[in-house]
Structure 1
Amino acid sequence: MEICQTSNCVHSPIAVCLHCQGHFCVEHLLQHNEELICEANMYCDEFNKITEEIENMSFDEQFTSAEEDLNDWINDQMKQLDKIYEAKLFELKQAHSEVEEKLSKFKQIQRFKITGIQRRLFNSQLSKQIGFEQLNQMKTAVEKLREDIHQFKTNQCSIKLVNNDQMNYSYKPNIDIQLEKKISDENKTIIKINNDLNQTYNSSKKSQLRADAKPFEYVPKEQNCNSLSSIRQKDLPSRLFDKYALVGSINKMSCSKISLDEVIRFTSRTAGRDKIYRIIQYASRFLAWYYIKKQRVANVERFVELFQNLESVMSLTRSGMRLGRFVDYVKSVLESFHIRNKRIGTLFGLIAVCQGLYMLFDNILLLHRFKIIYLKNSQYLQQYLNQVWLLWLSLSLTRDYYEMQASFAVGQHHQQQQDKSLIRRANILWANKPLVIDTIKNLCDLYIPLSNLNIVRVNTGLQGLAGTIASILGLLQLWDKTYQLPA
């Protein structure tokens, strides 16, 4: 007799499972079907878990971590590049000052030679006697002067910043500054190359300056100097005895460091005239205060009124020259976005914004003064102008502070010693003449908005003196670009 396939079951089967072809009784058939349903439910749960796992799959966390690592890497690289840039910039400034010193000595030597030629030329003109031997001597002297100038222009200073390498992950600027010394002694020329970047700058480095840097190329165009061969031989006597041509040029070269053309070119610029007017304005304020204090001088009131009127005229003239200049600083703000050092770029941008706001407020006050527009509370706008001026000078002094810290760090690096004494820092600071001039100028200017805002009580005499000093230093920076901090 056939029985149920379930073990220990003695009942007769009444049904066959279509899936496994097993014979089961009623009770075990239901139990067998329940087991199959439970197993199917278990697989449904597994499918649901797998579906959820697939839906939740994401690599955002890994990529975010990789991006953070990449940002840390680029920040480290930028810090290293900033240090290298500051070091090379310090070397470039030091080399520039040395070349300028050599140029000054060269000019002094050439002036001495030209003075001798001038003396002999005057003697010949007075005696009205000259021979071919003297003409040949003059010709030789002029050729030698031309040759010296040509050699100095072409050989003494050449700056080259090049990059021909491909960028890679181990990128490091290949910057090298070589100083080539040339010592001329009659027919001998001694060439010495110094590649030691850690050598102190107290030694005299001469002539050829070359720098190779990544990732740009800048090669200044050399100025060609025409030799005497281009001068026609038949014009030589007339050129030698032309009092107004040759003698005038010699006098200009030997007796004057500042030519009339340079003065005219400087005063023709709006910025140049503004600096001159500013000196007159603050000097007039100081002199007016001086004559007020000096009561015993005759006609004191006339002098005081004269200088006060002169100060007012200069102030009004400068305000008219600044009309519409706030637009110029929009370009400076946009250029600050392209500075790679974000700290310096932000500082430059804020300074440009303050300068633009200062010019805008000054223009509005000028229009109000001439009754073109009407302001109910013009004194508040004048207060805002002084506050913006104070912020401008504070940011400029902050920039000077960063420049000082960079100079101290680079100076100690090149001296290979950790001397942080006050005298050592003062020597490093004094070697950076543009930084010293800019800091003193900003400190002197700082007294004016502080006194206008009644933060510091300063009399008009000290205001005038500080403004005059700052104006003279500003004029010096505008006249000679070597005294300006790099932008």
Structure 2
Amino acid sequence: MDSWVRFNTQSQAKERVFRAAQYACTLLGYTALKAGSRDQLRLTISQLEGHMSLTRKLLRLGNSAEALEAAKRSIHLKDSVLRLCLTLSHLNRAMYFACDNLLWASKTGLLPSLDQHKWSQRSFRYYLFALILNLVRDLYELRLLMETEARCRATKAGASDQELQSNPGLPSQLQVMLGVLHHNPPLLLDLVKNCCDVFIPLDRLGFYSTGPGVVGACGLTSSVLSILTIVHPWLKLKP
């Protein structure tokens, strides 16, 4: 199992590099279109983006099993909100990867009769659900840390019990939030990454059309942040 985890970690790092390259191509293609570049150049960029996407799907084969293992671990968390959010998120990720594996098989000719559009839409739905749950988890942890920080500040200021129980004003809340995020880089990175990623399925599913420029920029940003968490594991939000 340890060998598989190490191998899968290496595959994840490679997949993130290809993901960054894919969305860089998306952004480059949008820029080339706006600049009025030749059709041949835009076609080359589009083909390169397609190759990057297919390579990513190959590297994600077997990720469903890892997501299910993560769900089995998170179901034992003591905090009920974290337990619910993380377990459901991992289960949705497992379904997302399963759909992605079928799409890879279809694109390589192993399943030529597969309806790629239908399974792609289904894949993005699972991806969107997982991201929403991740954002709920981030906001929940942010709220807990803000409450702890606010109590500490009030105690240091010599506030009364009644003041401790009251909600701080908006400027104070903003200061507390910025302070918490500043002292918790893993939470900040995870929140920014999930906020960037959520625009991708929203656009693909037609819920909120942003265009290839925004999708490319958001995908590239979240990919770079993911690579940072792999290079520096302490930046990864736990559990």
Same fold (TM over 0.5): yes
The alignment status of 1:286 with 2:27, answered yes or no, reads yes
**2:148 corresponds to 1:407:** no
Q: Displacement, 1:374?
A: 4.3
Matches within 5 A, 1:363-374: 363-374=101-112
Tell me by how many angstroms 1:484 deviates. Answer: 1.2
Query: Which residue in the other structure is 2:16 paired with?
Result: 275
| CA distance in 1: counterparts of 2:190 and 2:179, whole angstroms | 17
Alignment of 1:38-437 (within 5 A): 269-295=10-36, 300-375=38-113, 377-415=115-153, 416=155, 419-420=168-169, 421=172, 422-437=174-189
For the residues of structure 2 that align with 1:337 and 1:459, how far apart are their CA atoms? 37
2:202 counterpart (442, 450, 453): 450
Contact between 1:275 and 1:474, CA under 8 Å: does it hold in 2? yes
Q: Structure 1 vs Structure 2: percent identity of aligned residues?
A: 26
Report the Cα distance in structure 1 between the residues aligned to 2:117 and 2:95, rounded to whole angstroms.
Answer: 16
Q: CA deviation at 1:371?
A: 2.5
After TM superposition, give the deviation of residue 276 of structure 1 in Å: 0.9
Secondary structure of 1:440's counterpart equals helix
Q: Name segments (4+ residues, structure 1) moved above 4 Å.
A: 417-420
More strand, by proportion: 1
Larger relative contact order (CA 8 Å, sep ≥ 6): 2
Question: CA–CA distance in 2 between the matches of 1:428 and 1:336?
Answer: 24
Aligned to 2:227: 475
Instruction: Report the Cα distance in structure 1 between the residues aligned to 2:34 and 2:127, rounded to whole angstroms.
Output: 29
Partner-residue secondary structure (3-state), 1:485: coil
Whether the 8 Å CA contact 2:193–2:225 is kept in 1: the answer is yes
**Retained in 1: the 8 A contact 2:81–2:137?**
no
1:412 Cα deviation from its structure 2 partner = 1.5
Deviation of residue 458 (structure 1)? 1.2
1:365 and 1:382 in contact (8 A); partners too = yes
* Total equivalences in the alignment: 219
Bigger Rg, which one: 1
For 1:454, what is the secondary structure of its paired residue? coil
Say whether the 8 Å CA contact 1:282–1:467 is kept in structure 2: yes
Unaligned stretches of 5+ residues in structure 2 = 1-5, 158-163
More helix by share: 2
The CA deviation at 1:303 is 2.8
Partners of 2:199 and 2:176 in 1: how far apart? 29
TM-score (norm 1): 0.43
Between the aligned partners of 1:407 and 1:367, the Cα distance in structure 2 is: 44
The equivalent residue for 1:44 is: none
